[in-house]
Structure 1
């Protein structure tokens, strides 16, 4: 099993979000609309898991492939009422991950269980042999 780091495109400074997570308490002040992911390559599949608790996969989550990128987006609208008081929790979330070389965009499956979205992408030949280029004499 090989771990491949997810390429983050949601921020100009991708490690800044991880920094705020590590010191705690600052993410809500910044909006907190980041989808946390982990990815790996195993058994000729590229697997991406995304933390997305409390969502309905049929209505709240969208997964698409666009130009070699896996795009995950979601929107949450939740209302809790207790003792005549209500609270809203809502927001939209988006994350884009570059697919590895050899990814088969027509072999993608997605499932959602216990707050985790799992996307599995088939992989083909990931090694490209070197190609010799003939050098021609110019006039």
Structure 2
């Protein structure tokens, strides 16, 4: 089990959820269309958990990998009727996570239970391949 931190690339436009979390308390004004995630490296796997309550994993959730990024998206539609009154909610959700070096895009499992999507991705060689280059004197 590795306790090494996961490397992330710097993004000049952080996720809105991270921005609003950092200034505290403004998140509810955006509604519920933000996917909150946590990630870790454990037992040679990169694990991402996404909070996505009330969704049907067969119809509402899409998970894909594209150019070293894990893409999670979902669409929710909900209609409630009670005594002649009806109300509906809908929204689309999307979150993208940069995969760590060595992530194997052919070794991915995803499961959904109790409102949490868990995606587990196998990791290969993550050791640095630094190499010293000899500088030759030109004539």
Q: State the aligned residue count.
A: 136
Matched residue, 1:121: 121
Aligned positions of 1:82-101 closer than 5 A: 82-101=82-101
Superposed CA offset, 1:34-59 (max 9, x none): 10000000000000000001111111
Matched residue, 1:18: 21
SS at match of 2:112: strand
In 1, the alpha carbon distance for the partners of 2:87 and 2:41 equals 40
Superposed CA offset, 1:20-75 (max 9, x none): 6x42xx43422431100000000000000000011111110000001100000000
Q: Note the C-alpha offset of 1:115.
A: 0.6
Unmatched tracts of structure 2, length 5 or more:
none
SS at match of 2:101: coil
Scaled by the length of structure 1, the TM-score of the pair is: 0.85
Unmatched tracts of structure 1, length 5 or more:
none
Distance 1:8 1:102, change over 3 A: closer
Q: Which stretches of structure 1, 4 residues or more, deviate above 4 A after TM superposition?
A: 3-11
Superposed CA offset, 1:59-108 (max 9, x none): 10000001100000000001011121111111000000000111111101
Instruction: Indicate the RMSD between aligned Cα atoms, in angstroms.
Output: 2.5
SS at match of 2:55: coil
Contact 1:48 1:120 in 2 (8 A): yes
In 2, the alpha carbon distance for the partners of 1:9 and 1:91 equals 28
Matched residue, 1:131: 131
Scaled by the length of structure 2, the TM-score of the pair is: 0.85
Distance 1:13 1:122, change over 3 A: closer
In 2, the alpha carbon distance for the partners of 1:35 and 1:117 equals 10
